[in-house]
Copies of this chain bind each other. A is one copy, B any other.
Amino acid sequence: MAMASLSKGDWATAALAAIADRGLAGVAVEPLARKLSATKGSFYWHFPNREALIQAALELWEQEHTESVIVRVGAEPDPLQRLRLLLTTAILLAQEDVIDAAVLASATHPLVAPVLERVTDRRVGYLADLFKDMGFPPAQARDRGLLAYTAYLGQAQLVQAGMSAAPHSGAALRRYVDRILGILTAPA
């Protein structure tokens, strides 16, 4: 089954999976080829080199792990409920898929930095808009958006590292998100 030709996208998704569970250094052509039951001959037909594969994987991540969540959450009309939904969705997603934390772990890599910059701006901007919609003045909204996002990032890191300090069960996590939300949305 699936003995058909490997596509460029197949390599890219495999590379993204490799980033998620072994970091950027885990994106190596030969091991990846073994996992796909192929050889380097296939790879170097689709890509000029390893860097191109990494770029393709990162673009995949950029498209699938930001906009899709924003869209899914956009149906909710009330800003507060939208924020709650966004946070719980994002944090619960980070529980089972550590790709965000894995990408962040290579934040200084020259191929990662520009993608990360775009994704960060988009997310922080969206959060800030959310707080603006709740009635906070622009400067306040930006601060709270940044705070919310950094808290999410830190949380994702703790979860990926398996730190016991972070809540692990789904229920505890929902309670935690609720209380966090109370703090973040309390009037100045």
Contacts and interface: CB of A to CB of B under 8 A. Distances in A.
Copies in the complex: 2
Interface in A152-171: 152-155, 157-158, 160-166
Contacts of A179: 140, 143
Given A144-B183, A150-B151, A183-B186, A107 B160 contact: yes
A36 B117 CA distance: 35
Contacts of A187: 186
A105 interface: yes
A106 B108 contact: no
Interface string A86-118: 000000000000000100111110000100110
B105 A143 contact: no
A47 interface: no
Given A153-B153, A157-B157, A146 B163 contact: no
A121 B152 contact: no
A4 to B, nearest CB: 34
Contacts of A104: 105, 157, 161
A85 interface: no
